[in-house]
Amino acid sequence: MPNDNPPNLLPAALRQPVPRLPRVAVVGATGAVGVELIACLEQRGFPLSDLTLLASPRSAGRTMAVRGADLPVQVLDDSSLDGVHIALFSAGSAASKRYAREAARRGTIIVDNSSAFRMDPDVPLVVPEVNQAALATHHGIIANPNCVAIIAAVPLAPLHAANPIRRVIAATYQAASGAGAAAMEELRAATEAHLQGETYAPRVLAHPYAFNLFSHDAAVDLETGENGEETKVRQELRKILATPELRIGVTCVRVPVLRAHTIALTVEFDRPITVDAARDILAAAPGVRIVDDRAANHFPMPREATGQGDVLVGRLREDISDPSGRSIAMLVAGDQLLKGAALNAVQIAERLLT
């Protein structure tokens, strides 16, 4: 059971409301997600009185253009978040564990993109379209889910609300962006080398990336055979959907796509469901865009998911392996750097202002 007052954090009831024009910080500002966080704040007109950009010492001295001004990148330290109302963290689990709790204790609300706090029972794991009400329970730290869990939860949640889900089988096709800017650059360089007939030795990922795909690079549990990404997706989807016993099977694969993840989902429901009913539910769901043109063989693709915030859903069809009529198959795609990370975090911050 959650603690009423987690160590070093304030009870939710005692936290001060966020001002109308908060002071905001982006931690990990120069990374792939950090750059997208800044762009989302700017593009969505997020109201703020001050923006602080923070990163590791190797980024010290850099400037980044924000709203027509060049802002300096400062080194993150123990006092960096003093007076900051909302801090968007995307600097990895180590930095989050090192700085987030103390900053939250001093009054900063942390929206954390790492895995550091996702499964902490005292930290809400939030996708605003799905479980915004969980924000009311925060003690200063709010976790942004794993990118696959976010992209899957957006279409699964409205279906689950209409007809409880009994089982999910997922196969993911995950882009280089999920492994960061260095992996994206490796894919570019490896592809160029391959096309020129040259050998390219992998530096970031364990296997050759150009014109190849391989099991997700997270560590594999030698006993179960499941890798860490698959475990995250299962555990986080259960938490987001508030279904701790939901049966979920996941196979995560890294594919040679720069950004935007694709997921094949087969979903078994408590009661029979038709494709038309599922499509109607999804068409009315926030954050979902239907891309389902059978005649043109046009369904969700990472190319079309890239650079926009909706989760594309299509290839909707009856799972003919289930004669009970309770199962639907679908294909979904979402931009890993946007809805799968930065956009979801900024949407959380926006909800804190309302």
Alpha-carbon distance of 312 to 290, in angstroms, equals 6
Radius of gyration of the chain (CA): 21
**Is 261 designated active site?**
yes
Identify the active-site residue in 85, 138, 139, 261: 261
**If DSSP codes are grouped into helix, strand and coil, which group holds residue 341?**
helix
Alpha-carbon distance of 31 to 349, in angstroms, equals 19
Contacts of 80 (CB under 8 A, 6+ apart): 25, 27, 52, 54, 74, 99
Output the six-digit token pair for 116.
Answer: 């550091």
CA angle 146, 147, 152 (to 5 degrees): 100
Alpha-carbon distance of 289 to 282, in angstroms, equals 8
Alpha-carbon distance of 250 to 307, in angstroms, equals 26
Alpha-carbon distance of 159 to 165, in angstroms, equals 8
Task: Compute CA distances 281 → 128, 152, 275, 327, whole Å.
Answer: 18, 15, 10, 15
Report helix angle 228-240 to 147-162, nearest 10.
Answer: 40
Output the six-digit token pair for 212.
Answer: 């190849």
**Is 147 designated active site?**
yes
Identify the active-site residue in 85, 139, 147, 160: 147
Alpha-carbon distance of 102 to 7, in angstroms, equals 10
Alpha-carbon distance of 127 to 290, in angstroms, equals 19
**Which residue(s) pair with 71 in the sheet?**
64
- Contact 172/261 with Cβ under 8 angstroms? yes
Query: For residue 297, which amino acid is it?
Result: N
Alpha-carbon distance of 282 to 206, in angstroms, equals 38
Q: Which residues are catalytic?
A: 147, 261
